[in-house]
Structure 1
Amino acid sequence: MKKKNETFKYFLLKIIPLGLGGSAATLLMLMMLLTFIDVVGRYFFNHPVNGAYELTEVLLAFVVFFALPLVTMENGHITVSLFDGWFNGAAKTVKELVINLLMVVVQGVMTWRLGIQANEMAMYGDVSRFLHIPYSWIAYLMTAMAAVSTLYSLYLALANTFQFDSSGATQ
């Protein structure tokens, strides 16, 4: 049983983030390359890339939502530490738990609403104007990434409650 648990933690904490990070980096590189080719084509050859704006829009959404679980797992969201000095010991643990549970709720609602929006886009057959890219599959992928981020927030809340670090070792 311990072997399965270690394999799951390794997959959750190493393999998934590695895949998401590699995907986000690749998509960002594609977006930069597309922008470069579009600018060169537009200004030097008077021939821009058809649909570059739509592709950039889609790639940007993918980069943001592929990076969201990574930022969540690393506890890297923007925070204001104005009142952090007021919390010590158990109060600090409770504060962290409340923040992580709020993140679960907020990201859960975001996931739920994205799923509803994706279903509506699929039902209406929404597509982009020039390239006719179906918006529903983009929204479904965004929903999946938001769900992964929500699960990471839940993991952080549990880690905070049961006092184990991100590697799973008990403190």
Structure 2
Amino acid sequence: MKIVIDPGHSGPVEPGACAVGIRECDVVLAIAKLLAEQLADAGHEIILTRTGDIATDDLGFRAELANVNGADVFISIHANSAASPAAHGTEVYHYPGSKWGRRLAVCLQARLVAELNTADRGVKEANLQVLRETDCPAVLAEVAFISNEADRSLLTSYAGQLAAAVAMAGGLADYAAG
């Protein structure tokens, strides 16, 4: 399978959510690299939308990269944030009406919640550019909340990052198995 993995945000130009000096762009890149390694080892063709900081906050190239390369699935990885530090858990988004996007989201959500032992915030629909403009089934995974101390510990530890990657690889295998 050809899989595009999108570590959300870009670095200095648009770091995403930040809390106590931790940037979303950094933790999701670490998870994405571990996921890419897992999936490549399983025989999949992997394309990362970025492998480090990039000098743009444009989102269009991310979906275009998947479309031009004929990707089978697109996974955008993010860390959530909320004004309340009590907000926590995992949620995965798909484009409204996308049957296969929903199926992929359900598979990833189940594995992430089970592997990370995070609160199940559910599978949700969203009209986000990276989901809307991607031709293949596409999801956006909010792994955990960077604004919540316990979730942030998970996101910043190697064990937590690896667990997220293992969970997403497992969810993708569940999706592929039908």
Whichever of the two has the greater Rg, that structure is 1
Q: Return the TM-score normalized by structure 2.
A: 0.27
Q: Which protein, 1 or 2, shows the higher relative CO under an 8 Å CA cutoff with sep ≥ 6?
A: 2
Q: Return the TM-score normalized by structure 1.
A: 0.27
